[in-house]
Amino acid sequence: MIFLFFLVFDILNGREVLGETAQEEGPACTGGDLPFAEVSISQIATIRTHGNAGFEFFSIDSIPYLAIANFWDGSDRSMGAFSEVISLHNNQQQSVMNYSKIMEIRTQGAHGADYFETPLIADSSTSRVRRFLVFPNYYGCEEKNVPCKATTILVWNEETNQFDFFQSLRSDGPSQSDHFSIFNVQYLVLAENFSGKVSIYRYHERTDIFVLEQVLRCPGVAAIAVIVLQDHILLAAASYYDADNNWYTRSPIFIWQFTRNGNSPHRSNFQLMQQLPTQGAHDVEMIYVQDFHPNGEDGLFMFFSEDRNHQGSRIDSQMFEYDFKTREFILIQTIPTYGAHAAELFTVKFLEHHFIFLAIANFGDRHGKHYVAESPILAFSNKLRKFITVASLTTVGATDWEYFELDGRNYLALSNEGDLQSTDPSEDSIILELTIASCPHVSMNTIIPTGEL
pLDDT of residue 261: 60
- pTM for the structure as a whole: 0.89
pLDDT of residue 384: 87
Question: CA distances (Å), 445 to each of 16, 35, 191, 452, in order?
Answer: 16, 10, 43, 10
pLDDT of residue 127: 61
- Using the 8-state DSSP alphabet, how is residue 396 labeled? E
Q: Is 79 left (phi over 0), alpha (psi -120 to 50) or beta?
A: left
pLDDT of residue 327: 96
Q: What is the per-residue DSSP string for 193-252?
A: TTTTEEEEEEEETTTTEEEEEEEEE-TTEEEEEEEE-SSEEEEEEEE--BTTTBTEEEEE
pLDDT of residue 424: 61
Radius of gyration of the chain (CA): 22
What is the Cα 136 distance to its own chain's centre? 15
| Predicted confidence (pLDDT) per residue in 327-354, tens digit | 999 999 999 999 999 999 999 988 777 8
Q: Are strands 2-6 and 386-396 parallel, antiparallel or unpaired?
A: antiparallel
Q: Which of 266-273's residues contact partners 24+ apart within 8 Å by CB, and which partners?
A: 267/202, 267/213, 267/214, 268/187, 268/200, 268/202, 268/213, 268/214, 269/214, 270/200, 270/214, 270/216, 270/233, 270/235, 272/216, 273/234, 273/327, 273/328
Closest CA relative to residue 130, chosen from 189, 214, 211, 60: 60
- Using the 8-state DSSP alphabet, how is residue 61 labeled? T
| Cα within 13 Å of Cα(314), Cβ side | 5
Tell me which residues of the chain have a pLDDT lower than 70: 1-32, 94, 122-127, 259-266, 294, 420-425, 439-453
pLDDT of residue 10: 29
> Which CATH architecture best describes the domain 2-447?
7 Propeller (2.130)
- Using the 8-state DSSP alphabet, how is residue 97 labeled? E
**Helix, strand, or coil (residue 446):** helix
In percent, the amount of the chain with pLDDT more than 70 equals: 84
| Predicted confidence (pLDDT) per residue in 119-153, tens digit | 987 665 556 899 999 999 999 998 888 999 999 99
**Helix, strand, or coil (residue 353):** strand
